[in-house]
Chain A
C-alpha cells in the first residue's frame, strides 16, 4: 500500500479531507447551512433532513458548504427550517424542508 508519488498522496488527501472538513473554522468563504435542531425541529424530522443534506452535499461533491446545527430559529410553524448563509449575501430561510425536498 505504499505511496509512490506526490499525486498518490494528493488523492489520499482528497479522500480524507472530507472527514476533517467539519473542523475548518477559519474559512469564512464557506456557505453555511443552519439547520434548526430545537425540540420542534427534531419533532418534525430536522435530524433526518440534516442527514439527508449531508449525504446530498457529499454526493454532489460540494466542498465549500458547511452544515451547522443550531437551536430554535423561531419559525416553528415551518419546521424543519434551514437557513442558508452565502457569504456576502443576505441569509435565506427555507421551510418546511422535508427529506424529499432536500435535493
Chain B
C-alpha cells in the first residue's frame, strides 16, 4: 500500500520515495556523504549528474564495486554503508589523485578558503599526497573582460558544461580531448573572447575551484581611490544589498543596505550611490518606449535590455530580431552617463577626473562596460565593474566587518530609489516595475495594488496578463537563457504573442548572478535573496519609478522629456549583429 522504498543506511532503516538517490536518502536521516562534482539546484532546473569525481562512493551489499551515491537510485531492500574503511579509502584516493594533479598555490588562489576541493581535502583529513607525477600544464584564458579560465585547476566536475549546455543552451563549454589531458573548453580550444559566450558567468557561479573565476579589478579600484586627482564614485546594484551580508557570515537574505553604504564610504569613495536610482531612470525610458511602440504600431514585443548577457545572447543567436529589444542602456550604464554629465555639471567636477565604479552581481557587466556603443563624448559611461565578492573582499581588506557597521543612506542626487527600482534584482522585477509606471501613464489612473504576483515566482517561463484600461497587456518572463531561447522561438513561430518580455540570464534573476556569493547548490539561498528585495520594496514609501523625486528632478533640470532627444543621446544604445560559434 505504501509506494515508499525501504533501505538500510549504516544500519538505520529509512523509507523514501522511489527515484530518490542514496545521497538524498542518507541526508534525510542526517547522514552526510561528502560530494564534489555533484550539484543540485533543482528549483532552478540545474542538476549535474556527471558522477565523475568518485568522491561520494559508498558500499552497497551485493555490488562488486563502490557506487556513486549522488546518482545511484535506491532499490527495495538495499543495504548501504557510507563510512567503511573501504569506502573511505576510495573517497580519499579520488581526492588524493585530484590533488596530485592540482597547482599548490592556495595562498594566492582566488578561491582560497572558498574552494570546494580545499575544503574537501580538509574534511577528509588528507595530510599527504602519495602520488606525484605529471601535472597538466595549460595557459590561462584571460582573453575576456569578464571571466578567467584556468584549466590547470579544473577537476572535470562538468558543472560548467552542464550549466552552459543544458540550462543556458549556449553550448560554449564541452569536454575536449581524451585521457589525462582532457579539458573543458570551447570548440577548437578557442579563447572565450572569440566565441559566442554571453559572459553570463553561471559557469563561474558553479565552479568548485578556481578553474573559472571573474576577472578581478579590485587593484584598479584601489589605485583609483588612492589617486587624489580622481573623483571616484560607486553605485550598487539592487542584488548586492540582499547578498553581500553572506560574505560576512550573515544569514542569506539579510538586507544590509545601510551597512553596505557605510562600508563603501569607509573605503574612501567620494560618493556612494544607488543603481536603483538608475533603475527608475530605465523604467522612465523603457515604459515610454513601450507606450510609444504601442501607440505608433511599433515593433512588439519589446524586450527588456538591462541584462548584458541576454543582450549578447540575442546578438549571437537571433541577430535577425535586433529591432525587438528596448534601445535603453542598462541601469548602471545609464547611471554612468548621467554621472559624467548631470552630476559632474552640478558639482563642478571635470568628467575626465571621474571614475565610475559599479558593484554588480554580474560578470557580464564587466564586458558590457567596454562596449564601444556605451560611451558618450568618447568616454566610457562606466569605468570599472566589480562583483559583490570583489567588493566584500575590499571591505575585508580595509579591516571592516560589514555586519557591525552603522546603517547610513546613499548620497543625494543619485541615491533615491523607488520600490520598483529595488525589485530589478529578481526575475519578474523589471517588468513589474515597468508595469507600475506604464499602467498609470496609459490609463491616467492611479494604480492601487502595485504587487503583481503573477510576475513573481520561480518557474523558468511565466506569463501574465494585465488589464490596462482597454488594453490587455500580455507579458512574458523568462530567467535562464535556455528558457529565454524557448520564449524567443515561440515568438518567432508565432505561437505566442506578447507586448513585453523580461529576460534575465541568471537563475532567479540578478540575485543569482555570476558575481554573487557562492550558493553551493542551495536553492534556499537564492529564494531568501529574492524575498529580501520584495521586502525592501514593501517597506518603501514610494514604489513607482515615476514618483522618484530625484528622477523627476533630473528630467526637469537636465534631460527634458522622457524618450526625448537628450535622453536618446545619453540613455539609449544600438545592438550589433554577431555570428554564432
Direct chain A–B contact by Cβ atoms under 8 Å: no
Q: Which residues of B contact A (CB under 8 A)?
A: none
Which residues of A are in contact with B by a Cβ distance under 8 Å? Answer: none
